[in-house]
């Protein structure tokens, strides 16, 4: 099968989904999981063939001009998503009420939420996961030192898309409000990644924007253990 559909990482899956598909008008989707007893590669072949996914860009352009929809398929591990553009296609008939619209219901996977609002694709931390993270950081805001908290922010497993960065800075501000009230040193903003690391969705690794974690650059005096004594 020529069509490449298996993302080798969560980061690659989200990047392909958001940048290559949703941002280009593939708003309608269904998600699913390959059962444990089935071979994912065989399921890929079946779905790609069923919905005529493996088309050249020229064939897709002709189908679009004729009023038809185009379909894409993407899988990571055993989770997969089928996406379609506006138009006529057997996808809509066969999937029926299972079809969702990313402009209203974001695609959710691995703690990410990928939707489309205001003419732009939006990638953020899914709300339940975001609330868990915020609660954890607030609970430990005054119990851990600057270095430990900075390392925890640095190690968050989310690529810094615009809304992800906004969410992480919101958590950081909540942490620093508590630390300021307790008379403790603040956690610096440098602990949050600002630049997304591009990946090759179907193979290859990420190119890290830094050679060392931000916490390694913090002043040693700031990184002393400042947790209150108990």
* Segment 87-111, tens digit of pLDDT: 999 999 999 999 999 999 999 999 9
CA-based end-to-end distance of the chain: 62
pLDDT given for residue 211 in this prediction: 35
- The span from the CA of 7 to the CA of 200, in Å, is 9
| Beta-bridge mates of residue 32 | 80
| Residue range 103-155, pLDDT digits in tens | 999 999 999 999 999 999 999 999 999 999 999 999 999 999 999 999 999 99
CA 109 → CA 42, 118, 191, distances in Å?
22, 22, 25
Query: 12: closest CA among 211, 165, 205?
Result: 205
For 155, which DSSP code?
A: T
Among 140-149, 173-182, 188-197, the range scoring the smallest mean pLDDT is 188-197
> DSSP class of residue 98?
G
Report helix, strand or coil for 179: helix
Place of tokens 């508590």: 178
Tell me the percentage of the chain whose pLDDT exceeds 90.
81
Q: What is the pTM of this model?
A: 0.86
Residue 196 near residue 159, CB atoms below 8 Å: yes
Distance CA 213, CA 178 (A): 24
* 203: confidence class by pLDDT, cuts 50, 70, 90: confident
Query: Tell me: the pLDDT tens digits for 14-58?
Result: 999 999 999 999 999 999 999 999 999 999 999 999 999 998 889
Sequence spans of domains, the chain: 10-124, 126-217
């Amino acid at each position: 099968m020529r069509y490449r559909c298996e993302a080798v990482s969560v980061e690659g899956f989200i990047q392909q989904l958001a940048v290559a598909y949703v941002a280009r008008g593939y708003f309608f989707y269904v998600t699913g999981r390959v059962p444990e007893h089935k071979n994912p590669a065989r399921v890929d072949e079946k779905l790609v063939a069923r919905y005529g996914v493996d088309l050249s860009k020229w064939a897709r352009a002709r189908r679009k001009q004729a009023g038809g929809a185009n379909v894409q398929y993407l899988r990571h591990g055993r989770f997969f998503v089928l996406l379609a553009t506006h138009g006529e296609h057997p996808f809509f008939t066969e999937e029926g009420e299972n079809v969702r619209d990313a402009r209203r219901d974001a695609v959710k996977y691995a703690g990410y939420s990928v939707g489309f609002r205001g003419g732009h694709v939006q990638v953020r931390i899914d709300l339940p996961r975001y609330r868990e993270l915020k609660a954890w950081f607030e609970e430990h805001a005054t119990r851990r030192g600057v270095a430990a908290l900075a390392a925890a922010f640095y190690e968050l497993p989310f690529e810094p898309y615009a809304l992800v960065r906004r969410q992480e800075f919101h958590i950081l501000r909540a942490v620093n409000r508590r630390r300021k009230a307790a008379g403790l040193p603040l956690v610096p903003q440098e602990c949050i990644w600002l630049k997304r690391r591009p990946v090759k969705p179907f193979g290859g690794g990420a190119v890290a924007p830094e050679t060392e974690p931000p916490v390694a650059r913090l002043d040693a005096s700031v990184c002393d253990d400042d947790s209150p004594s108990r």
